[in-house]
Amino acid sequence: MNNRHVGNTTDSEHVEAERLSLGGLLEEPIFDRSRILAGSDHMDSAVTWCLPWDEVLSRPDSLAGVVVYTRPESLSGAELKLKSLLARGAGAVIVDGTAPASTVWPPSLPAVELAFPVGFTVLNKLLAERALTQEAHVMRYGVMVHQSLAALLHRGAGVPMLVREVSSLTSRPALALDVRGKLIYQSGLPDKEGEATSTLVMSLTASLPTTTEAEVFRSHEVHVIELPAVKPDSAPTMAIASAMHLAGRHEGWVVVLAVSDKPRRHDIAQYKVVVEQAGTIIGTEMLRQRSVDEAEERAKGDFVQALVHGNFANDLDLTTRADLHEIDLDLDYIVFVAPGLVDRTGSHPSASMVRLARYAAGVLPHRDVKSHVTVIGDFLIVVRSLRSENQSEIDEYANAMSADLEKRLGQRIPVAHGTRSHGVRHIDASYREARIALGIAARLDLSGSVSYRDLRGFGVLAVAADTSESRRLIDDILGPLRTPGGPPDFEKILFAYLAEAGNTNAAARKLGLHRNTMISKLDRISRSIGLDLKQAENQFTIWLALRLDLLSTVRAGVDQEMRPT
């Protein structure tokens, strides 16, 4: 789009720094009939103080914003010295009298020749007074803007009212954007939700520095960006944006839009002051609101945990808390559970888990569907209402949630779900089934939608899982493998071998092992349990023991979690 960023550069057509410029200084009477010798395109250079020629040349300091005062006789043979001043960023050279005609001036170094000598003291005093006056004017205006916005903040006006105040102070459209450039609120745009506004916001978002860049430019937080015209016959838009930084965190942007072919430099300087003050105050309100939202979300998350665990003192407790969190008691719900798999060594793993759960809840949105999230241990929980009796709706969402998590986490993710719950009072049963299904899916290395009802074999085994006969079978078959010095990774080996119907080569490929290594491991397991794994009857017995053990272990873990404390 050829957006032009001019936020921290000099541009004679658009930008005027809050400090005194060289052009502003030359408006003083002592510069009457003065002559610009070089650098006429750099009259917007900021100037802050004046130093004499000899002192400047004796030190290697930066000369940004410095006017160098010199007598004409000091310029004889000074070509290299003038280049040094330019390299050190000098704001200008002012010659107190007629400069030698032989002087070669660098084109980018502003040079001014006075019509009559005034002396260093007069020029230094004038520049100091003008710079201080300019700074005082900016400070007074900044204080006025701050007081206006702070008064609204203290009255709890909220972000919309603060943005409207920014628009009122500048008589221009104002916007608040989050860190991703998403529009939070705007005031003053005539086409509030139209295509032109969307295009403008997209162009602005693409032009703003990234979060990392914003951290780098923290000392230059106000950016002036020229955006292209939205329509062929309209004027370009100048965006004046201030980054919101609070407690070392980038919160977003406050932006004022000036639509004009050539906005006045004084107006741009004024807008910069406004957005700089507004950045801190609106960022403070956003931080406060996020704290409130997070507190409400934690309370709601606690309620959802109570729902899936069935932990309510009585029905009145359930209905009261459901009403507080605006959860309909009579809808049909289903519980989806997925592993979070976030980096637990991070500074805020629980916050990352909640964010993942929130993203998952936002998959396949529908106006008639309500989703409620929480995190329990390392599991993401989504309680989602259903629109119909169609099973495909459940599988579609589970697969979409799995795909979204796989994209975010970079690995295959199972999303398990139980059976439909008619009303919230039976959500705990759906959750228990989903957790059992997830435990089985994790052991069998499944991904995508995993339904408890589809694990039919485990459903049949559930009846026998807790009997003395099943426990005896588990101890007889798996006990010898679990003794100290037993075969390592025996469960993974057996699950892969049995899943491939006893095909040693296929199981080895699945596990990434050499065929001979796989044969050696299987022989060791056979010797440990006293059964030949090559025989189909023995394979079935081991298959049954593994599944009974898996089901028993998963159910015990879920029951332990759901047991009232």
Domains of the chain plus CATH, in order, are: 22-132 (3.40.1390.20), 156-290 (3.30.450.40), 310-454 (3.30.70.270), 462-562 (1.10.10.2840)
For residues 357 and 559, the model is more confident at: 357
Quote the pLDDT of residue 336. 92
Quote the pLDDT of residue 217. 45
Q: How confident is the model at residue 82 (pLDDT cuts 50, 70, 90)?
A: very high
Instruction: Identify the CA nearest to 241 among candidates 231, 250, 249.
Output: 250
| pLDDT tens by residue, 189-228 | 876 566 777 777 888 888 887 655 444 444 446 888 888 7
Quote the pLDDT of residue 211. 53
Quote the pLDDT of residue 219. 42
Residue showing tokens 């500048």:
170
Quote the pLDDT of residue 16. 42
Phi, psi angles (nearest 5°) of residue 512: 70, 30
| Beta bridge pairs of residue 371 | 384
| Beta bridge pairs of residue 385 | 333
| Beta bridge pairs of residue 51 | 68
DSSP string, 79-131: HHHHHHHHHTTB-EEEESSPPPTT----TTS-EEE-SS---HHHHHHHHHHHH
Quote the pLDDT of residue 1. 39
Quote the pLDDT of residue 263. 67
- The total number of residues written for the chain in this structure: 565
| Residues of the chain above pLDDT 90, percent | 13
Q: Does residue 289 register a pLDDT over 70?
A: yes
At a CB cut-off of 8 Å and minimum separation 6, what does 467 contact?
A: none
Phi, psi angles (nearest 5°) of residue 185: -160, 150
Q: Does residue 348 register a pLDDT over 70?
A: no
Q: Does residue 299 register a pLDDT over 70?
A: yes
Report the pLDDT averaged over residues 31-55: 89
**What region does 199 belong to: left with phi over 0, alpha with psi -120 to 50, or beta?**
alpha
The structure's pTM equals: 0.51
Pick the most confident of 39-48, 160-169, 290-299.
160-169
At a CB cut-off of 8 Å and minimum separation 6, what does 90 contact?
A: 56, 63, 66, 67, 68, 109
Residue showing tokens 């798999």:
341
Q: How confident is the model at residue 461 (pLDDT cuts 50, 70, 90)?
A: low
At a CB cut-off of 8 Å and minimum separation 6, what does 245 contact?
A: 214, 218, 221, 251, 279, 283
60-74, 235-249, 339-353, 365-379: segment of lowest average pLDDT: 339-353
